[in-house]
Chains A and B, each alone.
Chain A
Amino acid sequence: MTVAPYLPLLALRVAGFSTGISVVVGLWLGWTLANREFAGKCALGALSTAALALPAPVLCYYLLCVLGRVWTLTEMNLVAAGVLSAMPLVIRASLTAFASLDPNLGKAARSLGASGWRVFLRIELPLVLRPILAATALAFARVLAELAAAFWIASRRP
């Protein structure tokens, strides 16, 4: 498998897709971890933190080893690697932000006839928007920075 040399446009596209996917899935996971009780909640929380501690080159290398055999689309591999490195940031930020919300706000809104989606979109999301945007920017920057390592490692694989 060969990977193209570092291309700014490709890197931006990959970082954009990775961050977008990370934000959507990370927000959902962060909200779920903050508001729901389920089996494996602690494990999921620990895993999301542990992924932050994994060095980016190692993460990219293993991902390319695994996905390189399954998928032939190189850009998809890179997006998957980007999601893996960006998502923990979004999960941790959204978990902290959602957990710090006053639970009485949700109670009040639901007692006033609001659906779960309306509570999320009108009350919860506007209140956590700033930390989420900050985490999104960080995630985007992280993916962009780490893509360089991914290109470098991939170009030296036989």
Chain B
Amino acid sequence: MTHARIVKRIPPRFSLDVEIPLAAGVTALYGPAGAGKTLILDAIAGFVRPDSGRILLDDIILFDGQSRVNAPPRRRNCGYVAQHDALFPNMTLRQNLVFPARRFPRLDRHRRVGEMIERFQLADSAALRPNEVSPAQRLRCAVARALIAVPKLLLIDERAFDIPLLQQVRAAFASPILLVTGDLDLCCAAADEVIVLEAGRIAQRGAPRAVLDRPASVEIARLLGIPNLYQATIAALDPARDSSRLDFGQFALTGPYIPGHFRGDRVWVAVHPEDLRVHSGDLESQPNSVSAQLVSVSHRARFVRLEFSGGISADVSREEFARQKDNKQWQVEFPPGALRVL
């Protein structure tokens, strides 16, 4: 069992209090700066001593506040990929890989280093120093260096991780991986569980898609970057038709049935911008639609974000935007299933 219960106070105001069971696979720590993500990794790796709690790695106690057990970092067997890769600048990439492999017999050491160089495509740059290679190669080398010591847990505090590399690490490493990230795409593509941290506490945890689809609170929805957050009053509830009527003040929409609420309750509603549909205002009024003025257009890598009056943001494909960009008036359609009551 791998499990971390960490309590740490940092005067004057910050306190960390989390409990993280770690299973095989990737667990992503997501949260704003200062939420305590790096502190968790440092506590597990042994660089920060928690005030209390217990850290177990494969049933071996690394830290126990009550019995005052605190294993030093070098005896913890945790791989640690620090921010900005932290390759030793005075060594070549090969020497960086040999550094943790020193405890293996010579032939075994060479075999392991060769394997890692092959697996992470470092053959061309093995004789170069870190400042002579690209950031992507440096990152691959940092991961290879952490894995060569055969850790029982891999801690990754590198925000520049991309999806193919994480999937490669996942395929090569059977033990738990704890990853600090601010990239929700990475969480959805390669993480088994995402833990949303806020001010040193776990705000929500679960499968990445489930957390994104059902944020537990408006604060978490904001953390997850959902721009469409509205307060609404429940005007009607119809469990038989699995529907509800939500009054947003300036407009009213039909949504799914909201269990556990009564008519007249004030609720927060989150809508992902990619779930909205936009139409020309000249067409016949669409069901569950709102007329809105286009305020700004922002071109992103894979889509175009349209900002409308009333704080409505919608993401459309580039092709869809090219078709509709000459609209004089706009309608924004809210499919009932897109309305998520928090």
Complex interface: chain A residues within 8 A of B88 (CB): 105, 108-109, 122-123
Q: Contacts A102-B84, A122-B99 known; A111 to B74 CB distance under 8 Å? A: yes
Q: Does A112 contact B (CB under 8 A)?
A: yes
Closest chain B residue to A125, Cβ basis: B90
B316 at the interface (CB under 8 A from A): no
Closest Cβ of chain A to B176, distance in Å, is 15
A interface, CB within 8 angstroms of B: 102, 104-105, 107-115, 122-123, 126-127
Q: How far is the CB of B164 from chain A (nearest CB, A)?
A: 23
Docked-complex contact A127 and B89, CB < 8 angstroms: yes
- B78, B99, B146, B155: the one contacting A114 at CB < 8 Å is B99
With the chains together, A115 CA to B76 CA distance in Å? Answer: 12
A114 and B79 alpha carbons, distance in the complex (Å):
12
A114 adjacent to B90 (CB under 8 Å)? no
Since A112-B100, A122-B99 are in contact, a sample of 16 more A-B pairs with Cβ atoms closer than 8 Å, ordered by chain A residue number, is: A102-B86, A108-B82, A108-B142, A108-B145, A109-B99, A110-B46, A111-B73, A111-B74, A111-B76, A111-B80, A111-B155, A113-B74, A113-B149, A114-B99, A122-B88, A127-B89
CA distance A141 to B99 in the complex (A): 37
A sample of 18 inter-chain contacts (CB < 8 A) reads: A102-B84, A104-B86, A105-B88, A107-B80, A108-B88, A108-B142, A109-B88, A110-B73, A111-B46, A111-B73, A112-B74, A112-B100, A113-B74, A113-B75, A114-B99, A115-B74, A122-B88, A127-B90
Q: Is the CB of A112 within 8 A of B47?
A: no
Q: How far is the CB of B100 from chain A (nearest CB, A)?
A: 4
Q: Which of A108, A109, A110 has the most CB of B within 10 A?
A: A108
CB-CB < 8 A to A126: which residues of B?
A: 90
Known contacts A113-B100, A113-B149: A108-B74 contact under CB 8 Å: no
Q: Name the contact of B82 in the complex, choosing from A104, A113, A114, A115 (C-beta under 8 A).
A: A104
Known contacts A113-B103, A122-B99: A107-B73 contact under CB 8 Å: yes
Give the residues from 69 to 97 in chain B that come closer than 8 angstroms, CB to CB, to chain A.
Answer: 72-76, 78-84, 86-90
Known pairs A104-B83, A104-B84; A112 contacts B90 (CB<8 A)? no
- B81: nearest residue on chain A (CB-CB)? A108
CB of A111 within 8 A of CB of B45, answer yes
Q: When chains A and B are docked, how far (Å) is the Cα of A113 from the Cα of B150? A: 11
B125 CB to nearest chain A CB (Å): 19
Q: Which of A107, A114, A122, A123 has the most CB of B within 10 A?
A: A107
A112-B45 CB under 8 A given contacts A104-B82, A105-B88: no
Task: List B residues 94-123 near A (Cβ within 8 Å).
Answer: 99-100, 103
Most buried by B among A110, A112, A115: A112
B33-49 toward A: CB 8 Å interface, digit per residue (1/0)? 00000000010011100
Q: Nearest chain-A residue to B76 (Cβ)? A: A111
How far, in whole Å, are A79 and B126 apart by their CA atoms in the complex?
Answer: 48
Least CB distance from A117 to B in Å reads 11
* Cβ–Cβ contact A111 & B90, under 8 A: no
**Smallest CB-CB separation from A119: which chain B residue?**
B74
Whole-angstrom CA separation of A156 from B146 in the bound complex: 65
Given contacts A114-B74, A114-B99, A107 and B145 within 8 Å (CB-CB): no
* Known contacts A107-B45, A107-B80: A112-B99 contact under CB 8 Å: yes
Closest to B75 in A: A113
* Least distance between B216 CB and chain A CB atoms (Å): 33
Shortest distance from the beta carbon of B45 to any chain A beta carbon, whole Å:
5
* A108 and B89 contacting across the interface, CB-CB below 8 Å: no
